[in-house]
Amino acid sequence: MTDEQPPQSAFLHRLSQFASVAAPTSVAAALLFYFGYVATYARYAYFGVDLTALDLSTIEVLLHGAEALYVPVAALVVLTLALHLIVQGIRRMLASRRRRRLVRIFAVALVPLGVLLFARGVVGVVWPEVSHTEFPGTTPITLGFGLPLAAAGLRLRRAALGRARRKGPSETVVLTCLCLNVLLGLFWATNSFASAYGRGIAHTVGNRIAKERPAVVIDTQEPLQLNLPGMQERLLPTAEGQKFRYRYRGLHVLTEAGGKLLLVTAERNGRSGTIVVPYDGSVRVAFIPN
């Protein structure tokens, strides 16, 4: 006998080790990219710019995804810790016959609460105007956690009455569906928060851009024919060898990506203007620090 593994077994063993590391990493990277794209899209849509016009790198999108996920991940950690403490407390109460009545009251309250939450989620789906004006993530959270809360209340009531039974195939299917419902609700809620986060960052930047971002003066060969709030146009004097004829002020740098400058005007009366110019020899750009 020998302790050496066959080549095929050794390969499968290494493959399983790689998958145990690569799969979670790939999922995390995919989630960062997706939510980063959602947040970045909403961020630049606020200024009237389609994200495809900027040609952002994958690293930039991933960084935006990390920013957007700070609050949802922190909330999920706190929720997990709270659920763990609640479950431990309920187990101690079930072990005491005197406290089982409190558990039954809590369980009975969970059922209508879960049904009401689920109904609120359905309202947000049926009437989109409700979900558009609510706090980000309200509809997906209520839709995803409503039925699981009601099911938890029913199961907890049976346990408090001493009627707990083994899980059958049907209960396993129901439990799986409820878990999937929670995951979908969490994904949807994070998507809503990422979009709201992008819009919130854009609104903050738009209000403070004149104070925090450098001003820009651009010279062009042809008039831009734009009537943006806060942008000033001036005709340059003609001179030999002077190819630039028009000068524009009142612009500030928002970002640079893909060889393009995204310039915006300071907000006036809740309105601002945005232009995208090539960062090459076709225009002359001068940066003025604040």
pLDDT at position 14, please? 52
| Structural tokens at position 57 | 């790198």
- Say what the pLDDT of residue 160 is: 78
Q: Where are the alpha helices (DSSP H) in 46-163?
A: 58-95, 100-126, 128-133, 138-160
Contact 216, 232 (CB under 8 A): no
For 136, the 3-state DSSP assignment is: coil
Average pLDDT, rounded, for the chain: 82
Say yes or no to pLDDT of 2 above 50: no
Q: What is the DSSP letter of 271?
A: B
163-175 mean pLDDT: 72
Q: 34 pLDDT exceeds 50?
A: yes
Residue 128's pLDDT is 83
Mean pLDDT (whole number) for 80-107: 84
**Predicted confidence (pLDDT) at residue 18 exceeds the cutoff of 50:** no
Asked if the model's pLDDT at residue 277 lies above 50, the reply is yes
Of the candidates 201, 212, 218, 199, which has an alpha carbon nearest to the alpha carbon of residue 266?
Answer: 212
Lowest-pLDDT range, 17-26, 30-39, 79-88? 17-26
Q: Are 196 and 43 in contact (CB under 8 A)?
A: no
Beta bridge partners of 255: 262
In DSSP terms, 246 is beta-bridged to: 220, 235
pLDDT attached to residue 149:
92
Q: Is the pLDDT of residue 283 over 80?
A: yes
Kindly tell me if the per-residue pLDDT of 142 is higher than 90. yes
Whole-angstrom distance, CA of residue 57 vs CA of residue 229: 30
- In the structure, what pLDDT confidence band is assigned to residue 101 with cuts at 50, 70 and 90? confident
Predicted confidence at residue 271, as pLDDT, reads: 65
Total length of the chain:
290
Q: For 68-86, write each residue's pLDDT tens digit.
A: 888 888 998 999 999 889 8
pLDDT digit string (tens) for 245-256? 889 888 888 888
Among 224, 185, 230, CA closest to 76: 185
Query: Any long-range contacts for 71-77 (C-beta under 8 Å, 24+ apart)?
Result: 71/193, 71/197, 72/186, 72/189, 72/190, 72/193, 76/186
Residue type at position 169:
P
DSSP for 13-71? HHHHHHHHHHHHHHHHHHHHHHHHHHHHHHHHHTTT--GGGT---HHHHHHHHHHHHHH
| Least confident residue range of 4-13, 47-56, 76-85, 119-128 | 4-13
CA neighbor of 86 nearest in space, from 158, 186, 172, 156:
156
Q: What is the pLDDT of residue 1?
A: 43
- Mean pLDDT over 27-39 rounds to 85
